[in-house]
């Protein structure tokens, strides 16, 4: 094979890796969003009908949080296999399991059909979702970042993160469609459709992933016999501090995204007296901001450094929650939309550079495990209980200020974490990639380090 052929093959694989990772992230956040929407709008009636309305809503939102409990286990298990057997096979497994779990939610009996068994089955399906997602995101972004040239890792990694808003947008469009059904039809069968439709996305994602080659940096690790027997032990022994800082670093984006996309729908009804359709109609166009601004953040990361852009985004999220919630109080469509736009600009700067930034702080031989565990622990601390915390703060204080302070505090924590989270020195235990993997110069001289 000539050098030109090698370069063409590498370009093709870079693009395939990007598409495969984007689809996986889209599916992940589609599933995340439809479950959050359902838990906010219909699950209380379907699975907890005999509870007090407030308690029923809290129980419904708690099933949303339960999915995060399984994520650390999934991060450890899939991180282990991702660093031992490879990124590709592990990502096929995570996407397949996530698709089965989400599809199963759409087939579940309700409380009226199966009694107490219904919420138990819902929890089991949600745990399976969380287990699979524990390894999905970290592996997905690694496939893109490790296939990409160094000068474009920020941009390509950020494109994967647009899957967040694509999944959110698609979920809201589908859910908005089923919400047009009469209440009796919505509760009888309409709520199932968004979950069942996820099978289409999963099928496309699996088709692309099965045709993808393994990450060049993992191939370099294997070629140098540097694959560890127990990556989870090695990552805590060598990179434990970085795992903790990654977990703290993701708090700002996680809390902002979850409260804006999940909690805001319930808050619109209970706190603002607005219909769920109105809140979704505000949220939907605002998500387009993420699709535009996340790649811009990636471009800036390639020019100024991912860490610098991340710090700027975290700093903005200290202030923007106050503007977002204050503008929601106006109950005026365009002002509420402005609030979402402002919050999502800050979120995009912060979250858009996570793939390039967080992956670079771990050596290639431990990167899947380190990324997955750190990111997942941060999600639990940030995303999982954010809706319940916000609902409690609103109930106790009777106003939005406590919620804004909570969001700002989480952003301060992320800002401080990023001040300490830097790219480490070269990983001398990982050999350089074989010449066949670096014929186009994309990974030459990296020695497998971030």
CA–CA separation, 205 and 165 (whole Å) = 17
Walk me through the domains of the chain, giving residue ranges and CATH numbers: 8-422 (1.20.1250.20)
Give strand ranges (E) for 339-434: none
Which 8-state DSSP code applies to residue 229? S
* Closest alpha carbon to 62 in 139, 123, 129: 123
CB atoms near residue 428 (< 10 Å)? 10
DSSP 120-148: HHHHHHHHHHHHHHHHHHHHHHHHHHHHS
CA pair distance 247, 292, nearest whole angstrom: 26
The Cα-based distances of 221 to 217, 321, 361, 437 in angstroms read: 6, 43, 17, 12
Give every CB contact of residue 130 below 8 A, 6+ residues apart in sequence. 66, 67, 68, 69, 70, 71, 74
C-alpha dihedral, 361 to 365 to 368 to 370, nearest 10°? -50
Gap between the Cα atoms of 48 and 66, Å rounded: 15
- Give the model's pLDDT for residue 446: 34
User: What pLDDT was estimated at residue 300?
Assistant: 95
First CA to last CA distance, the chain: 29
Cβ-count burial of 279 within 10 angstroms (0-12 exposed, 13-18 middle, 19+ buried)?
Answer: buried
pTM of the model: 0.79
pLDDT in tens, the chain (450 residues): 566 766 776 777 888 888 888 888 888 878 877 887 787 777 777 887 765 565 555 566 566 667 777 888 999 999 999 999 888 889 899 888 988 988 998 999 988 888 888 888 888 888 888 888 888 888 888 888 888 888 889 999 999 888 877 887 888 888 888 888 888 888 888 889 999 988 888 888 888 888 888 888 888 888 888 888 888 899 999 989 999 999 999 999 999 998 998 889 888 888 888 887 788 889 888 888 988 999 999 999 999 999 999 999 999 999 999 999 999 999 999 999 999 999 999 999 999 999 999 988 999 889 999 999 999 899 888 887 888 899 899 989 988 999 999 999 999 999 999 999 987 644 444 444 433 333 344 333 333 332
Nearest CA to 302 out of 422, 154, 162 is that of 154
Sign of the alpha-carbon torsion through 102, 108, 112, 114:
negative
Burial 103-134 (b: 16+ CB within 10 A, else e): bbbbebebbeeeeeebbebbbebbbbbbbbbb
What is the separation of C-alpha 428 from the centre of its chain, rounded to a whole number of angstroms?
31
How much is the pLDDT for 1?
Answer: 59
Residues 6+ apart with CB under 8 A from 49: 56, 111, 112
Radius of gyration in angstroms for the set of CA atoms belonging to the chain, rounded to a whole number: 21
Tokens of residue 447, six digits: 């020695």
Phi-psi region of 404 (alpha: psi -120 to 50; beta: other; left: phi over 0): alpha
Specify whether the CB–CB gap between 414 and 314 falls below 8 A.
Answer: yes
């Amino acid at each position: 094979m000539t050098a030109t052929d090698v370069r063409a093959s590498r370009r093709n694989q870079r693009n395939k890796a990007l598409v495969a990772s984007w689809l996986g992230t889209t599916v992940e956040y589609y599933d995340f969003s439809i479950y959050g929407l359902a838990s906010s709008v219909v699950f209380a009636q379907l699975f907890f009908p005999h509870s007090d309305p407030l308690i029923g809503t809290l129980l419904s939102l708690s099933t949303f949080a339960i999915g995060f409990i399984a994520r650390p286990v999934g991060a450890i298990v899939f991180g282990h296999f991702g660093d031992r057997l490879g990124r590709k096979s592990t990502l096929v497994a995570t996407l397949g399991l996530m698709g089965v779990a989400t599809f199963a939610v759409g087939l579940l009996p309700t409380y009226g059909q199966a009694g107490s068994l219904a919420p138990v089955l819902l929890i089991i399906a949600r745990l399976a979702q969380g287990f699979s997602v524990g390894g999905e995101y970290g592996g997905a972004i690694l496939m893109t970042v490790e296939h990409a040239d160094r000068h474009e890792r920020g941009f390509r990694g950020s494109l994967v993160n647009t899957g967040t808003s694509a999944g959110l947008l698609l979920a809201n469009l589908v859910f908005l469609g089923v919400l047009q059904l009469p209440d009796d039809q919505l509760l009888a069968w309409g709520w199932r459709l968004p979950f069942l439709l996820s099978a289409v996305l999963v099928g496309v994602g699996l088709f692309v992933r099965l045709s993808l080659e393994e990450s060049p940096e993992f191939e370099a690790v294997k070629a140098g016999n540097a694959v560890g027997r127990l990556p989870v032990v090695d990552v805590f022994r060598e990179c434990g501090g970085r795992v903790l800082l990654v977990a703290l670093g993701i708090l700002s984006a996680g809390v902002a995204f979850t409260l804006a996309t999940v909690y805001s729908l319930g808050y619109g009804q209970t706190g603002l007296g607005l219909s769920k359709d109105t809140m979704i109609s505000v949220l939907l166009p605002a998500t387009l901001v993420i699709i535009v601004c996340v790649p811009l953040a990636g471009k800036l990361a390639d020019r100024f450094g991912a860490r610098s852009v991340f710090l700027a985004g975290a700093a903005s999220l200290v202030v923007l929650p106050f503007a977002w919630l204050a503008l929601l109080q106006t109950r005026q469509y365009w002002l509420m939309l402005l609030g979402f736009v402002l919050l999502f600009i800050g979120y995009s700067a912060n979250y858009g550079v996570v793939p390039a930034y967080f992956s670079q702080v771990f050596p290639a031989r431990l990167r899947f495990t380190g990324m997955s565990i750190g990111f997942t622990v941060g999600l639990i601390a940030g995303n999982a209980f954010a809706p319940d915390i916000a609902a409690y703060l609103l109930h106790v204080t009777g106003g939005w200020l406590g919620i804004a302070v909570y969001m700002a505090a989480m952003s301060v924590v992320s800002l401080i974490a990023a001040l300490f989270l830097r790219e480490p020195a070269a990983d001398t235990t990982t050999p350089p990639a074989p010449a066949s993997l670096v014929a186009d110069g994309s990974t030459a001289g990296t020695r497998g380090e971030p």
